[in-house]
Amino acid sequence: MADQRHSTRASPALQALTECDPALATLSLWCHHRDAKTTTLAETQGSEIRYGADFAALPLHLQIGVSGHHILHVALQHSRRMEAMAARLGPDFEPDLWQMACDAIVNEAILRAGHALPRPALTLSGLLGALGQPAPPEQVLAAWDAERLYHQLQRSEGSGGRVGRPGAVREHAHGQGFAPDLSPEQGDTEKAGTPDGFDAGDWQAHMARAMAAGRTAGVGLGALGAPLGDLPKPRVPWELIFRRLLLQAALPRPTANPARPSARWMAQAGAALAAEESLPPWQPRQSAPVAQPRLVVALDCSGSIAPVTLRLFMAEIIGITRRMQAELRLLIFDEGIRDEMVLSSDRARAVLETLTLPEGGGTDFRPVIARAAELIPSALVVLSDLDGPFGPAPRRLKTIWASPAPEPPSPPFGHILSLAR
């Protein structure tokens, strides 16, 4: 258990930061530094950094780098975001890949800020090279955040995507000395499943003040030429947006019954007859539809959809179908419709877990949209990488496009939703 007093092991490094990196020194004020019995140099959980005995044996310049590494873990809310991602993905969450993503980002920042780390060290530019996506080191920090990088790593390692070679990420990371040093915050599980950036507003303010101090001094983290793309941001997870869109689409709406008058009309008509006036304009009674709502899900079997993304998406569909008692029609397509099935809420999960998808072929959205329009659903959801002809916008068909890309292309109609966060 960590000693609750301020760390004596980290004191020399934290004092040195005030001169060599005012930005990190400022951020360290919002961290809790403790000495602890740990086999790692240091570890982070929430806002607490625990320093092991081996940390004190490092030379001062490496102590500064390791301290800065963990200060950035806290400032970028990696523990809390790890907890939120685990709550969202459930058993599909891979904590080592999350830590690789976070370590690569903070190590890249620490080294570009002019500090040293124990070598070898996992970096973002090196990790992207292992993924087959090399990029200039001066650009990567602005372009990537932990969630997007995690999904990219998971697609590569899961053998379901077409990014890199399966196993290449872990092989590269362990070759660069990667060792887990981050734990989920283990806070309120309800908050963990809500927007990823709980307390993100506070940390945005802390980061803004710290970076301003660093820019004024012209050294360290504040002197980086590019902004950090991994800054904590308040954001609404795609699951919440998706549920809202589907619930709005499938919400029963009253329909006019021309054979029966509304209660308001009857009252107005009675008053008009009593006053010997003309009857008001006819107002039919509104009645709720009795038909069961229908959802159509179109699954693109030609795209690079990772199995974990498919499982997460289908779990969302099944959950909403069960809560709304809606009929779920699944259309599997590429250039044409390859399969069509009706999934009941009690058997949907078992069917989807054993579903074998065809592979190959191009993508054409026109046949599947035409078939969906024939079914007159409450909503059509298309899971695809959006690479194919769309055709004209269908009439009276609410369409939700769901793509695994972080910045998906905009289709000519419907609502676009990125599943990358």
| pLDDT tens sequence across 330-354 | 898 888 898 898 877 777 777 777 7
Q: Among 187, 210, 235, which residue terminates a domain?
A: 235
Do residues 309 and 231 share a domain? no
Q: Let me know if residue 257 belongs to a domain.
A: no
Q: 148 with 156: CB under 8 angstroms?
A: no
Do residues 64 and 166 share a domain? yes
Do residues 343 and 227 share a domain? no
Do residues 214 and 307 share a domain? no
Confidence at residue 60, expressed as pLDDT on a 0 to 100 scale? 96
Q: How many domains does one find in the chain?
A: 2
User: Would you put residue 337 in left (φ > 0), alpha (ψ -120 to 50) or beta?
Assistant: beta
Mean pLDDT of 225-242: 71
Residues 67 and 12: their CA atoms lie apart, in Å, by 10
Do residues 306 and 222 share a domain? no
No. of H helices and E strands in the chain? 17, 12
Do residues 205 and 313 share a domain? no
Q: Let me know if residue 6 belongs to a domain.
A: no
The number of C-alpha atoms within 13 Å of 182 and in the hemisphere containing its C-beta is 27
Q: 265 with 239: CB under 8 angstroms?
A: no
Report helix, strand or coil for 302: coil
Mean pLDDT of 363-371: 92
The string of DSSP letters for 101-134 reads HHHHHHHHHHHHTT---SSS---HHHHHHHTT--
Do residues 50 and 140 share a domain? yes
The residue behind tokens 């002809």 is: 389
Do residues 308 and 401 share a domain? yes
Q: Let me know if residue 246 belongs to a domain.
A: no
| pLDDT tens sequence across 4-51 | 578 999 999 999 999 999 999 999 999 999 999 988 999 999 999 999
Q: Let me know if residue 278 belongs to a domain.
A: no
Q: Let me know if residue 414 belongs to a domain.
A: yes
Confidence at residue 287, expressed as pLDDT on a 0 to 100 scale? 66
The count of residues in the chain is 421
**Structural domain boundaries, residue 332:** 294-418
Q: Give the domain CATH number at 384.
A: 3.40.50.410
Do residues 306 and 228 share a domain? no
Q: Let me know if residue 366 belongs to a domain.
A: yes
Q: Among 185, 213, 235, which residue terminates a domain?
A: 235
Q: Let me know if residue 303 belongs to a domain.
A: yes
Confidence at residue 166, expressed as pLDDT on a 0 to 100 scale? 59
Quick check: 188 pLDDT over 70?
no
Report H helices in 21-160. 22-28, 53-56, 60-75, 78-89, 95-112, 124-130, 137-143, 146-157
Mean pLDDT of 167-176: 90
pLDDT > 90 in the chain, percent? 33
Q: Among 235, 252, 272, which residue terminates a domain?
A: 235
Do residues 180 and 36 share a domain? yes
Residues 201 and 286: their CA atoms lie apart, in Å, by 46
Do residues 22 and 155 share a domain? yes
Do residues 55 and 127 share a domain? yes
| pLDDT tens sequence across 68-83 | 999 999 999 999 999 9
Mean pLDDT of 309-325: 72
Q: Let me know if residue 226 belongs to a domain.
A: yes
| pLDDT tens sequence across 259-301 | 788 888 888 888 888 888 888 888 887 766 555 678 888 888 8
Quick check: 378 pLDDT over 50?
yes
